[in-house]
Amino acid sequence: MSGIREYQLVLADGEVFEGEGIGADPIDGVASGEVVFNTVLTGYQEVLTDPSYAGQIITFTYPHIGNCGVNAIDDESTRPFCRGVVVRDLARRHSNWRSEGDLDTFLRRHGVAGIAGIDTRRLTRHIREAGSMAGAFGPADAAELRAEAEGEAGTAGGDLVDLVSTKRSYVVGDGPRNVVAFDLGVKSTMLRHLGELATVTVVPADTSAADVLALEPDGVFLSNGPGDPEDAGSIVAELPALLGRVPIFGICLGHQVLSLALGGRTFKMKFGHHGGNVPVQDTRTGKVEITSQNHNFAVESGSVPDVTETHVCLNDGALEGLVANEVPAFSVQYHPEAGPGPHDSRYLFDQFAELMDAHAQAH
């Protein structure tokens, strides 16, 4: 890097952090968004390219980021949709046999601004106590940055799904079943897993139920995605026409929009779940899974009628999974594809295959 760019990160409540610029220069000198923290120890590239981070600035709690470089196969989408990145130390050298380049160049290529040298422990503790909030960083003075932070909407009041969803349908995989996947911000690793089970037609988030049924799917998949599920476009209104007609499996935002379609309620969490080490218990068996998670909204426990709540977060009791009692549909709040993260929950893709096969035999 040529020269130090002195930056400040200022939160909407006036908290100030000093550091230095990394990655691309912020557009108009300021990068702003909702500041959240992620606790993963590895997989920073998968986190940065997860479309669920649209509207957000990602703080990594692990102090050394960039050690392994980057490579194209680990991208979860065509580009990062996050508003910025905050790290303690950006590795001066990357070392990994799979590496195709360094993280700073990756950020510059994709136009993502970042700030390094931040006391991320202090920042994380502040967010845990005060909750996720808007922030802004760049070379501007603290007063200007705070004004930008105070005026930042972050993930509230907008259809971020439309920003990240594909604009045209495409097909992946060659499995024996036929699945339609709603792209609410889908990750590449999810599609790789689904592609082993089925030939997958990925459709835009605003695709109608009639168009989905015309494809004669064996199952429908609802992907992860960013923002408030109540602002996720037409998907919630379209799902009732699919319930009972075809098996449905939802992950993360997919879990939330399915719950809304079933009559449930969602709410914004204080600081969300973002990490690769979150313990979740299957309340039916008592088995505990270590899971990968990334969400700021959750489904209100007890609010969804005619379902069995199947999974709970052992950290805070949040609802993490459910199965519909009257129709073939189930969903989880966490990420069984684990990109990045542990692989404890990948069996859920097999459960989806079993549900599709059982429904096909019955009909």
Query: Which of the residues are catalytic?
Result: 252, 335, 337
Q: Where are any strands of DSSP class E within 167-318?
A: 170-172, 177-183, 198-204, 219-222, 248-251, 266-282, 288-299, 307-313
Gap between the Cα atoms of 160 and 110, Å rounded: 19
Q: Which of 268, 283, 286, 277 is nearest to 335 (CA)?
A: 277
Q: Single out the residue of 30, 142, 44 nearest to residue 89, CA to CA.
A: 44
Collapse the DSSP code of 47 into the 3-class scheme (helix H, G, I; strand E, B; otherwise coil) and give the result. Answer: helix
Rounded (10°) CA dihedral 8, 55, 147, 28:
70
Phi then psi for residue 269, to 5 deg, are: -80, 165
Q: List all residues 6 or more positions away from 265 whose beta carbon is below 8 Å from its beta carbon.
A: 259, 299, 300, 303
Contact 300, 318 (CB under 8 A): no
Using CA of residue 155, residue 158, residue 161, residue 167, what is the dihedral sign?
Answer: negative
* Omega cis (within 30) before 217: no
Determine the Cα–Cα distance for residues 115 and 87; give it in Å rounded to an integer. Answer: 6
8 A C-beta contact, residue 73 and residue 49: no
What is the rounded CA–CA span in Å between residue 60 and residue 313? 22
Cβ 124 vs Cβ 96: under 8 Å: no
Q: Which residues contact 190 (CB under 8 A, 6 or more apart)?
A: 181, 221, 223, 224, 251, 337, 339
Residue 234's identity, in one-letter code, is: S
Phi, psi of 236 (to 5 degrees): -65, -40
Residue matched to tokens 């908290």: 15
Q: How far apart are CA 31 and CA 145, in angstroms?
A: 9
